[in-house]
Structure 1
Amino acid sequence: MDETDMTDNSFRAVIIQQLERRNIVCRQFDSLFTSYCELTEYVANIARTGRIRHGSNASLAGSSDRTVELEAELADLYRKKEQNDQQLIETNNRLGVVVRELSAVSIVKEEYQKENQKLKKKLKEKEEELAALEEANTLLKDEHFALQACILIILLASYNSIENKYREAQEERNNLVDRIKDLKEKEVQWFNEQNEREQEEHRRRLAADIESALIMSHNNEDKTYGFEIISSANQVLDYKGDVIPNHCKTKLDYGDDVNDILWHPNGDMFAGGGGDHKLRLYKLVNDKFEKIVSLAGSNESILRIDFAAETSQVLGAGNDNAVRIWGTDNHIVKHSLTGHGNKVSSAKFFEDGLQVVSGSYDRTFKLWDLKTAKCLRTYFTNSVVYDITSSDKSGMVASGHYDRKVRFWDTRLNEPVRVVELANKVTSLVLSLGKSIF
C-alpha cells in the first residue's frame, strides 16, 4: 500500500509539474492574446459605430472623407488582425511542438522512473546478498583463525620434534667428526711412517747404484738421466759475490699480489700472475710496459706461469686446483686441466708444448696430453710439491718438495730414479739454457 501511495503522489507531482511548465510556456503569449482580444473588440466597436453613424447620417454626403479614413483604418486593422492571426498560428505550432517534446520527455521520465524502481529493487537484493556474504565471510574468518591456531600448534610440535632430532643428529655428527679426525690422524701417522720406511728402503737400494754411478762419472760430474747437478755435498762452490742492482730502469704497478713473473722465450713480452685471478701479458716498448691483455678464466690466484713458444701457448697454475692454458695469439682459453685435489703449485710444458706436467699440494704430479686434455698418468710423490721442471732433451721431470728432497722422474716409471736431499725444503727449481743442468 505504501508503494502504491508513493506512486500516486509521484504521478500527481509529475502532472502538476507538467501543468506548471505549460503555464510558463503559454504565459509569454498572454499579452498577444490580450492584444488580439482588445483589437477584435476595438474593430467590432468601430464597425458598430460606423454602422450607427452611417444609418443616422445617411443624408450627410459631405462625410465621405471620414468614411474613407475609417475604411483605411479598418483595412489596417484587418491587416494587423491577419498578422496577429499568423503569429497566433505559429505560436500554436510552436506550442504543439513543445507539448509533444514535453510528452516525449514525460514518457522517457516514466521509463526512467520504472528503471529506477527496478534498480532500487536490485539494489535491495544486492544489499541482502552483501549482508549474507559478510556474514559468511565473518564465519570463514573465524574458521580460518581457528585453523591457523591448530596449524601453529602442529607446526610448533613438529618443530620441537625436528629440533630434537637435529640436536641428536648434530651430536652424532660431532662424534663421527671426532672419530674421523682420530682416524685421519692415525692414517697420517701411519702414512708418514710408511713413507719413511719406503724412503729408507729406497735409499738403501739406490745407495750402491748411486755410489757406483758417481765413481764411473766422468770428471766427477753427477749425471742423473740427462740432468747435471751443479752442486753436491762433496763439491765446493766458487763464490763470485752478490749482484746488487744500482738503479730501477722501469717500474710497473701491478695493483695486486704478484705470485709469478716469466719472460717469453723470444724476449718480446712477459706474463704476470697474482691475486686478481687473471694472467696478464705485457710488452716492453721504449722502456715502458704496455699491457697486451688480461686473460680471464681462473677462479683463484695464479701461482705459476710457463710459455710454450712452439705452440704459442701460456699456462697458469692456480689455487683453484686447475691448470688453464691460453693462446698467446688469440687470447682464448684452450684447455682447463682439472683433477688435482689441492692447489696446483707449479706446472710446465713438456714434449715441445704437446704435454704438461703439474705438481700440487695433494702430493702428486700429473702428466697431461693437450691433444685430448686428459691426464695420462699420476705420480705419487709422498710430499707436497713446491716446484716442478722438465727437460725435453732427456725426457725427465724434476720435482722439489716440502720434505727437503728433489726427486728425478722417468715418466715411464712410477717411482723416482733418483732422490737428492737438501738442507731445507725445496721451493724452486730451474734449468740451464741447455736444459741439462739444474
Structure 2
Amino acid sequence: MSTEEHVWRAHIVKCLRERNRKECENFKEIIEQNNRLIDHVAQLKSDNLKLSVENEQLRSAVSTGGSGTGVQGAAVATLEKKLLSQQEELIELHKRKGENSQLIVDLNMKVEQQRLTMSEKEHSLAEEQTNNNRLRAEVHLLHSSLEELKKLNNTLLDEHTALQLAFSSLEDKMRGIQDENRCLVERLMRHKSKDADKLNEENESIIRKRSAKLKRDLEDAVREPSNSAPTSGNRNSTSPAQFVGGGMITDDDFDEATINGAMEAIGIDDTEYFNARFTAGELRPSLDALKASGYLGQANPTKILMKFEAHENESHAVRWSPVERMVATGGADRKVKLWDIGKNSTEPRAVLSGSSAGINSVDFDSTGAYILGTSNDYGARVWTVMDNRLRHTLTGHSGKVMAAKYVQEPIKVVTGSHDRTLKIWDLRSIACIETKFAGSSCNDLVTTDSLGSTIISGHYDKKIRFWDIRTEKQADDVLMPAKITSLDLSKDCNYLICSVRDDTIKLLDLRKNQVISTFTNEHFKISCDFARASFNSNGLKIACGSADGAIYIWNVNGFLETTLKGHSTAVNAVSWSPNHNELASVGKSKRCIIYSDS
C-alpha cells in the first residue's frame, strides 16, 4: 500500500467518525429521553394491567358478595380514583409520546437534508481531488519543460555569444572592404567620367563633320541640272517607295515630322533649312543616305511563324531567352513552359512546375541559364533551364507577386507585389535582405543595369518610382495619368516605355526623367492591369497588345507602323526576340503566336 493511499484511508475514517459524532451528538439527549419514556410507558402499561385485573376481581367480588361492607366500598372508591389518575397520567404520557414522535420525525428530516448536503460535498471533494491530481501532473510536466528550456537557453546564449563575436569580426572586415570598395568605385567613376568626356568630344566632332558633309552634299544636289531629278508633276508616279522604319511610305507621305525624324537620326542641326528645301521639292533624302544614317530599321514581323496552345487556360506572360531561340510562357494553369522556336516544335521543350497559383511574369537572367517566375501564391521561384529543376522558392510577400528581375545577377533578385512592397532577395542565403515600402501595389519593375543600382517600379497609384539601392534614397516619382500596367527599358537604359491604363503608352527619357512621347490609337485598348509592352532589340520600335486581339507596333518617332492580327481575344503580353526580328505574344485565348518578317 502506498503512502498516499494510507493517508487517504485515514482521512476517510476520520471523516466517518466526525460525521457519526455530529449526527449522534445533537440527538443523544432526545434518544435517551425517548428510551426512558418508552420504559415508563411499558411500566405504566404493566401497572394498568394489574389494576385492571384487581378492578375486575373487586367487581366480581362485589357482584357475588352483595352490597359489601363500607370498607370494601371505600377501597373500591380509592382504587377507582387511583385508576382515574393513572389513566390521566397515561393520557399525558401518550401526548408527550406523540410530541416526541413528531420531534423525531422533524429531526430525521433534518438528518436526511444533512446527508444530502454531505453527499454533495463529498462529490465536490472528489472532483476537486481529481482536478488537484491533474494539476499536480501538469505542474510536474511544466517543471520538466522549464528545466529543458533552461538548458536550451544556456546553450543558445553560448551560441549567441560565439556568433556575436564572429559577427563583430565579420563586421570589421566588411567595413574595411566597404571602404576599399568605395575608393575603387570613386576611382572607377573618375575614369568613366574621363572616358565619357573623351567619347562626347569625339562624338561631337564626328557629328559636326557628318553635318557639314551632308550640307555640302545637299547643296551640290541642288546645284545639279533639273533633268537629273524627276519633275514635281510626275514625282508620285515615277519615284520609288521610301522605306522608313520598315514600312512602305511614298514621297507624298513624307511630312514635317518624318523629315524631323530623319534629320535627328542623321545628326543635322539646321532642321528649318532642311525642311524648307525638302517641302519646296528642291531635294529628297535618298534611300541610301537614310539607310546609312540608321534611321531605317528592320522590317516589321508581319507573318505568323508559329501558332500553338501554350497553356490549359489564360496565358499571362511571355519572354524570349537572351541566348537561344526559345520562348518561356506562364499561365493561369500554374506552369511555366519552354518552347523551342528554332525547331518549330509545338510541343513544350520543358514544363516547370512548383507554383500553387497562376504565373504572372517570367524572366531570364542575362546568360539564359536561369528563369525567374512570379505567382499569385505570394511567391517567386527560380528554375535552371539546363535540367528544368526548381532551385529557389522566395516567399515572404503577403500579396500576389506581379514582377521580378535579377539585380547583381546571379546572386540577387528584386520582386514587386500587391502588398505594396518591393523585396530584395539574396539567392545564396535564400532570404529577404531588404524591403522597400512603396505605399501602392506594384504591377511591374525593371532594373537599369546588371548591377541593379537603380530599380524602377510602376504602381497602381499612377506613379513610377525610382530606387537607388546603393544610397537607399528614392528619386523623384513620375506621375502618370492612370495606373501603370508594365515597364520596359531600351538596351542602352536611356529610355523607358510605360503602358498606362488610359490606353496610352508613354516614352520617358531617363536622363531628363520626363515623358517625351505618347503612343495611342483610336482602336488601341489596354487589355488588363498587367498588360505588357516591349521594346525591340535596337530600341526603335514599341509593341503592345490590345483588347481587340491586335498587336500595335509604333516607331519611337511616333508613327504607327503596322497592326498584327492573329489573336481572337485580348492580348496580355508581347516580347521581342533579342537576336532575331521576331515577336512573341500570348493572350486570354491560351494561344501563343510567333510573328516573323520572313
Larger radius of gyration: 1
Task: Establish whether TM, by shorter chain, passes 0.5.
Answer: no
TM-score relative to the length of structure 2: 0.33
TM-score relative to the length of structure 1: 0.45
> Greater share of helix residues, 1 or 2?
1
